[in-house]
């Protein structure tokens, strides 16, 4: 199945994407012929049952894993053709990451963690943009605090700000609320939603939570490594209903 966004420009796309592990009788196809477009300035959630291939898709999109077949195009750059050095530079300059485990440096302050990608690249922050991002996460009074002095939700908002500080073409979020309580989850998801609405950021998020997916503009569903369907302007109830349908298909 091919799902394409035709009404707007595309930030990143896959063409016939496949990812296999093993060979012969032990071969497992985690992804099979997935062709999918992600529009610029849109918030897309990727969902599916356990083992559906959603994390594999995200990792291939972000250049963290190499597909077996097909292409991943960030703008006009084919990630599958880049060597490791060029891929590392592209991830640093063009892509932001938010992970379930926060991945903050414990010895650095919140502000130092936010600006770390720029520091590693030898670039000075755009102070106007940095101020906007800091105001958006609502932690200006906590910038000098170490991660251990912040709540889980505050740490994840710092991680989100770090992902945005270099103004990447795409931010990838892998179960960003998986370690958070419901209130902290809402804070983080609201920030990601605002980054799309107010800053024109492109966000692609893997989640298993229908409530988290309801913050997105669009949800795409995978099952058994295949693209099954999409849902526009999702609600938690509509996402849950679609997931129940996929679970029933697998059980049948």
- Identify the CATH number of the domain in which residue 103 sits: 3.40.50.300
How many structural domains compose the chain? 1
**208, part of any domain:** yes
Whether 5 has a pLDDT exceeding 60, the answer reads: no
**193, part of any domain:** yes
pLDDT higher at 243 or 252: 243
**206, part of any domain:** yes
Strand 203-206 and strand 170-174: the pairing is parallel
Whether 4 has a pLDDT exceeding 60, the answer reads: no
Whether 218 has a pLDDT exceeding 70, the answer reads: yes
pLDDT higher at 200 or 26: 200
Average per-residue pLDDT in the chain? 90
**242, part of any domain:** yes
DSSP 177: T
Q: For residue 38, is it left (φ>0), alpha (ψ between -120 and 50) or beta?
A: beta
Range of the structural domain that residue 55 is part of: 40-59+83-251
Select from 48, 24, 47, 20 the least CA-distant residue to 32. Answer: 20
Whether 1 has a pLDDT exceeding 60, the answer reads: no
CB atoms within 10 A of CB 172: 26
**72, part of any domain:** no
**Average pLDDT rounded to a whole number, residues 83-112:** 92
**116, part of any domain:** yes
Select from 33, 36, 41 the least CA-distant residue to 8. Answer: 41
- Map residue 235 onto helix, strand or coil: coil
pLDDT (0 to 100) of residue 8? 65
Percent of the chain exceeding pLDDT 90 equals 69
């Amino acid at each position: 199945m091919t799902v394409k966004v035709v009404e707007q420009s595309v930030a990143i796309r896959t063409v016939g994407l496949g990812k296999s592990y093993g060979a012969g009788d032990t071969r497992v196809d985690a992804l099979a012929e997935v062709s999918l477009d992600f529009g610029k300035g849109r918030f897309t959630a990727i969902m599916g049952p356990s083992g559906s291939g959603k994390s594999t898709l995200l990792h291939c999109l972000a250049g963290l894993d190499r597909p077996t077949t097909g292409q991943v195009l960030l703008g006009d750059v084919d990630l599958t053709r880049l060597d490791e050095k060029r891929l590392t530079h592209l991830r640093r300059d063009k892509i932001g990451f938010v992970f379930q485990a926060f991945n903050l440096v414990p010895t650095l302050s919140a502000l130092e963690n936010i600006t770390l990608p720029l520091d590693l690249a030898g670039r000075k922050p755009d102070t106007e943009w940095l101020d906007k991002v800091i105001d958006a996460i609502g932690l200006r009074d906590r910038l000098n605090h170490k991660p251990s002095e912040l709540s889980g939700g505050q740490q994840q908002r710092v991680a989100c700000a770090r992902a945005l500080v270099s103004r990447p073409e795409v931010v990838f979020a892998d179960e960003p609320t998986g370690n958070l309580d419901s209130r902290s989850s809402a804070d983080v998801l609201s920030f990601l939603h605002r980054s799309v609405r107010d800053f024109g950021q492109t966000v692609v998020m893997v989640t298993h939570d229908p409530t988290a997916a309801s913050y997105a503009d669009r949800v795409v569903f995978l099952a058994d490594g295949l693209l099954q369907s999409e849902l526009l302007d999702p609600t938690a109830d509509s996402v849950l209903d679609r997931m129940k349908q996929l679970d029933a298909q697998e059980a049948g």
